[in-house]
Copies of this chain bind each other. A is one copy, B any other.
């Protein structure tokens, strides 16, 4: 029996969402003066109560879309509908571990941020530096840029004949990923013969449509499907994220079990006790109060790249020009990635003393997977020797609490999400929690959290600049738009 089949164990692994320090009376200890309280912008119990009918309405609206591919909400079914897919992934992953020493993922956006975040959270923090026998799989390189220097650096450190490539793009027309694909195919063909492509490349793409699906068919590639109605930033729990994770030895079934558990928690009918819904509501209310910045600060190196994954989810989902009703709204809260304790020595000065323009979200951990005691030494120096005998665990957790208290004292809104431990189950919970929160917040804002029309213009401009047929007029418009004056270039 897997541990996640035990109800007790699952409950012991439940995330906690604590929003005490978002509330009036908690975060305005410095002064009760109205002008200070106005700056702080804390929420009141009355405001929250008053918003509950809107939250209830959001729930009904979301319930109508839940699971529907046509509404881009097929991600909600991923914890349940992948039994066969998972079996297939586990088998492919076994093959990768057996046959390859390097795993290169070509993908960008959600196709990279999820795999990177999960690898950092659940594998060794210096995984690629470990000798092969101590790793759970091949060295992993997720290459999510088209910088020529990085591409060249990649080929310096892999051995082509020992490398498996996973190419991830739902549409099959992502310029960045397909450029990399052209390069990899050419290199494989050139050095190892055309047949090597079939053995060393796996495609993750649409079931039938698009260039990559066609290429996969032409070359006879092993292929996994990005299900319809699962957007890039909601795709971590489908083959996009599961295949690279499984290849590196991560328990993807436990991840999915964690997501299912969070789904269950977010079905709680009393919305005041529903952590996904309350987190969405609290975020919405702070946005209405003008907090346009959302800082995520995990106190764990393993959760560092969860901030990157979340930044895409939050930014692309909520950063919208138009409402559902086509009103111009320009919504969005800008995500900022930080790391505790590191950024206490970089960003916290600003958070403590700067403008009252942000919400700080702490990501904490109850139990780290290692305990490290700070040894004795330097006995003659009391300003150092007080550290001896404490664990690093105590030090990092004390610093987190110390920072929370200092920011609260300074009147800066903050909240804390705590993982009992970082493992595949809690990570599945966390990601699903954020997806629900984002959906709820988008619903309250009255915008479509699942599209990204604002990136089209940049893509089209790129096509025009690179001379893709059909974009000649755009090129002309760009030439006309560019009117730089030399006097403003120094």
Interface: A489 (CB within 8 A): yes
Interface: A463 (CB within 8 A): yes
Instruction: Please report the C-alpha to C-alpha distance between residue A299 and residue B148 in the assembled complex, in whole angstroms.
Output: 11
Instruction: Please report the C-alpha to C-alpha distance between residue A484 and residue B390 in the assembled complex, in whole angstroms.
Output: 26
Which of A67-75, A79-87, A316-324 is found at the contact surface with chain B?
A: A316-324
Interface string of A463-490 (1 = CB under 8 A from B): 1111111000000001001111101111
A355 near B332: Cβ-Cβ < 8 Å: yes
Residues of B within 8 A of A322 (CB): 353
Interface string of A319-344 (1 = CB under 8 A from B): 11110000000111011110111101
Interface: A16 (CB within 8 A): yes
Interface string of A171-204 (1 = CB under 8 A from B): 0010110110011011000000000000000000
Residues of B within 8 A of A119 (CB): none
A214 near B381: Cβ-Cβ < 8 Å: yes
A20 near B485: Cβ-Cβ < 8 Å: yes
Name the contact of A478 in the complex, choosing from B134, B211, B405 (C-beta under 8 A).
B405
Interface: A154 (CB within 8 A): yes
B339 near A145: Cβ-Cβ < 8 Å: yes
A330 near B353: Cβ-Cβ < 8 Å: yes
B353 near A454: Cβ-Cβ < 8 Å: yes
Instruction: Please report the C-alpha to C-alpha distance between residue A392 and residue B182 in the assembled complex, in whole angstroms.
Output: 11
Nearest CB in chain B to that of A178: its residue? B384
Residues of B within 8 A of A208 (CB): none
Interface: A348 (CB within 8 A): yes
Instruction: Please report the C-alpha to C-alpha distance between residue A292 and residue B356 in the assembled complex, in whole angstroms.
Output: 10
B386 near A467: Cβ-Cβ < 8 Å: yes
Which residues of chain A from 291 to 324 have a CB within 8 Å of any chain B CB? Answer: 292-293, 299-302, 308, 311-312, 315-316, 318-322
- Copies of this chain assembled into the complex: 2
Interface string of A342-353 (1 = CB under 8 A from B): 101111111111
Interface: A51 (CB within 8 A): no
B393 near A148: Cβ-Cβ < 8 Å: yes
Interface: A458 (CB within 8 A): yes
A147 near B465: Cβ-Cβ < 8 Å: no
Residues of B within 8 A of A152 (CB): 370, 372
Interface: A170 (CB within 8 A): no
B150 near A399: Cβ-Cβ < 8 Å: no
B320 near A334: Cβ-Cβ < 8 Å: no
Q: Which of A26, A179, A272 has the most CB of B within 10 A?
A: A179
Instruction: Please report the C-alpha to C-alpha distance between residue A178 and residue B375 in the assembled complex, in whole angstroms.
Output: 11
Instruction: Please report the C-alpha to C-alpha distance between residue A318 and residue B383 in the assembled complex, in whole angstroms.
Output: 30
Interface: A394 (CB within 8 A): yes
B378 near A182: Cβ-Cβ < 8 Å: yes
How near does chain B come to A375, taking the closest CB pair, in angstroms? 4
Residues of B within 8 A of A139 (CB): 129
Nearest CB in chain B to that of A334: its residue? B293
Interface: A406 (CB within 8 A): yes
Residues of B within 8 A of A44 (CB): none
Interface: A222 (CB within 8 A): no
**20 cross-chain CB contacts under 8 A:** A16-B489, A23-B488, A108-B341, A125-B150, A130-B156, A147-B301, A149-B368, A150-B301, A151-B372, A179-B374, A179-B392, A316-B347, A320-B353, A331-B354, A332-B355, A353-B454, A386-B467, A387-B466, A402-B461, A403-B458
